[in-house]
Structure 1
């Protein structure tokens, strides 16, 4: 008799979880495909327009460390609800045809997504520790689907409606639904007090495991966002057709979705993860080397290898946040620390990559730098792969 109520609660939880995950990537990418029409409508230059995209990534890096404090004060469910309300409000403001309003909306939505990114692994640690691999895999897949749909439908929606704000407003609608769902859920559940005394974020600075995971996630984010920005240009300059160069990015993103799910499932079942990390980083190294040394030989294969390795590494990093901590509160803190550094590096990677090309006249040094940083990522990942937990003392 108790099976049906439990099933109902589980389905509601999964629906709320999926809605939250869907809205943690789509608002980031929906602006990019319609940026040119926005610039024309608002009469702004490329520098100002770039704030509508890079502003979010900077929010992730600068504001993520403050998220655990909010969840400690409000409780995790209500903190997620507040984060999604911010995403919804910011998304609505981004659909207003006034640049200052759009910029404020970008920052508000960026705040919400930054906090949501931190809270989700903590939520899995608290509620689904017995199905960790399945749930983290679902999380990364839904985020990937959201990003793919937002990017892929933006231009068709603009063309069908005749206005650039249509795709932005559509995703604002999804954000509003997610926020309402979490508000309903959060205020139906009692706030659970944290077990033990408070732990300060600075306590993580003494943990080698925390630093290795932070470095790993930082290098992964830098490599991923750099390739998203510059891979087509590198490929075209080496003789790959512009159509295939664009398809390489799509293929990378498409392959990363199933790869992220598979790696989360595998990682959750393993005790020692170093060989898994080594395999994923070798896939990335092969893809980067292929683009550098033989770009026209098989550009689709290089993109597939990069997608499998990058998607797997991202999912692995998020799963390790859950596996390498004792409590949901600690998972939120580690998530805040690792994602803060990760997104700050992600914001700087494309700039450095492009600057090196400008200084040297070619892409070889830039690609070489990515391979060197991948080596740093591999070493950090091998250390994270050893079965050690982040040790934090209550009251520290």
Structure 2
């Protein structure tokens, strides 16, 4: 670890990181299961409902660059704690009945999660000499949190007699629990505040080729996940499966993604310890993408579970690897926060175009072959970027200074 801690204290830090990660998707993913009731109650059009589900991804990109500034002002620990408070507050605002409150609460929650997305990996960089295993637990928890929200929002709401607003509010309570776990373990970060107050600018990192390639890799990986996840049930239904079967296959993607999300950073950390880069993991992730996308393109109703499982491993492992490369290529926690802010800003803004592009290609061609083919073509820049970002090099802190 970067700071001396006993083994028991190190375990508590990992638990706190995982609990925070569990909160970084449910408040947003939980909207999809209740979208029908939400629209019936509020009268939202399909376009506005689509904007509501896309807004968090846009927030991830727009607010990510603010995270390093918060870390410099108040310390990593306090900034993460503030993000949890804002997440709970944003979720609570959605309990109000005006439609504007629904969008405002989603905006606040999305901004809060954007900050945590950037700062928790930076915190791991500071606390652990070998960040592989902690980043694996963190990345897997992101997938588990999303799966819990997708599978439990409706059943929990029904069991407790809650409407869609109450069901979504349950995930705000989880943020309060995470705050109660985080503060005693991480503290307020007052002593570490000066350590992250170094001068410099996040966007200056893009002068370095490794930083640019890490950013492109994360963006290409994100467009794969958000693009296909948005349309997978529809794609499979058009191929002959039922909507229910398509939903089950989307759940399979999330479940296998959690496995890939744990394995990717863990193996990356081991390779780093041995003085190797992570190019073999980039190749494995892209190979899994080729198998999964190729199967969905050529035989979507034959061995469907196999194709989506392999795709899930690729997206979970690839995304987690992208986050881990940001950590491993950074010399300090502040560099990790800065590079994470830049990479996630651009990456998520690119990812937000995925569902739109795939949907437009489907409307133009009347099928999904061109849409899936586009995802296959985007593997080319992903390989190029990942191959460069996976080299065993470290960005110096001076790379970010103006």
Q: TM-score range by the shorter chain?
A: over 0.9
**Distance in 1 between the 2:350 and 2:176 partners?**
30
Matching residue of 1:112: 112
Once the two structures are superposed, residues 139-172 of structure 1 have per-residue CA deviations (whole angstroms, 9 ceiling, x without a partner) of 0111111111111011112333141122211111
Q: 1:367 to 1:127 in 2, by over 3 A?
A: same
Q: What displacement does 1:183 show?
A: 4.6
Q: What SS does the corresponding residue of 2:121 show, helix, strand or coil?
A: helix
For 2:12 and 2:263, the matched residues in 1 are separated by 24
How far is 1:189 from its partner? 5.3
Deviation, structure 1 residue 209: 0.6
Residue 7 of structure 1 deviates from its aligned partner by 4.9
Q: CA deviation at 1:235?
A: 2.0
160-169 or 67-76, larger mean C-alpha shift:
160-169
Q: Tell me what 1:253 maps to.
A: 254
Matching residue of 1:307: 312
Output the CA distance in 1 between the equivalents of 2:197 and 2:91.
Answer: 37
* 1:194 match: secondary structure: helix
How many angstroms apart in 2 are the aligned matches of 1:206 and 1:229? 34
Which residue number in structure 2 is paired with residue 294 of structure 1?
Answer: 299
The CA distance in 2 between the partners of 1:196 and 1:146, in whole Å, is 32
The answer for unaligned runs of 5 or more in structure 1 is none
d(CA) in 2 for partners of 1:239, 1:182:
47
Stretches of structure 2 lacking an aligned partner (at least 5 in a row): none
Q: How does 1:226-241 map to 2 (within 5 A)?
A: 226-241=227-242
1-structure distance, mates of 2:23, 2:162: 24
- For residues 268-321 of structure 1, give each alpha carbon's deviation from its aligned partner in whole angstroms, at most 9, with x where no partner exists: 111121122111101111111111112222111101110111111011111111
CA distance in 2, matches of 1:362, 1:48: 25
Distance 1:147 1:182 in 2: 20
Contact 1:137–1:264 under 8 Å retained in 2? yes
SS at match of 1:69: helix
2:7 and 2:382 map into 1 onto residues whose CA distance is 41
**Equivalent-residue separation in structure 2 for 1:155 and 1:213 (angstroms):** 37
Task: Report how far residue 50 of structure 1 moved.
Answer: 3.0
Distance 1:152 1:269, change over 3 A: same
Return the alpha-carbon distance in structure 2 between the equivalents of residues 277 and 166 of structure 1. Answer: 42
Q: Which residue of the partner structure matches residue 143 of structure 1?
A: 142
Per the alignment, in what secondary structure is the counterpart of residue 327 of structure 2? helix
Counterparts of 1:181 and 1:188 in 2: how far apart (Å)?
A: 15
Give the SS at the match of 2:378: helix
Change in CA separation of 1:311 and 1:108 when aligned onto 2, cut-off 3 Å:
same
- In structure 2, the partner of 1:320 is 325
C-alpha contact (below 8 Å) 1:125/1:331 kept by paired residues: yes
Alpha-carbon distance change, 63 to 11 in structure 1, aligned in 2, over 3 angstroms? same
Q: TM-score, normalised by structure 1?
A: 0.94
Structure 1 position 74, deviation (Å): 1.1
* Aligned residue in 1 for 2:380: 375
In 2, Cα distance between the equivalents of 1:348 and 1:196? 35
Partner of 1:121: 121
**Contact 1:251/1:307 (<8 A) preserved:** yes
Equivalent residue, structure 2, for 1:58: 58
Equivalent-residue separation in structure 1 for 2:201 and 2:366 (angstroms) = 47
Query: After TM superposition, where is structure 1 displaced by more than 4 Å over at least 4 residues in a row?
Result: none
Count matched residues.
Answer: 391
- 1:10 corresponds to 2:10: yes
The 5-angstrom pairing of residues 43-54 of structure 1 reads 43-54=43-54
Residues 1:362 and 2:362 aligned together: no
Q: Which residue of 1 aligns with 2:280?
A: 275
CA 1:110 to 1:100, structure 2 compared with 1: closer, same or farther past 3 Å? same
Range with greater deviation from structure 2 (253-262 or 173-182): 173-182
| Cα deviation, residue 8, structure 1 | 5.0
Distance (whole Å) between structure 2 residues aligned to residue 332 and residue 365 of structure 1: 37
Instruction: State the Cα distance separating 1:188 from its structure 2 match.
Output: 7.2
After TM superposition, give the deviation of residue 80 of structure 1 in Å: 0.9
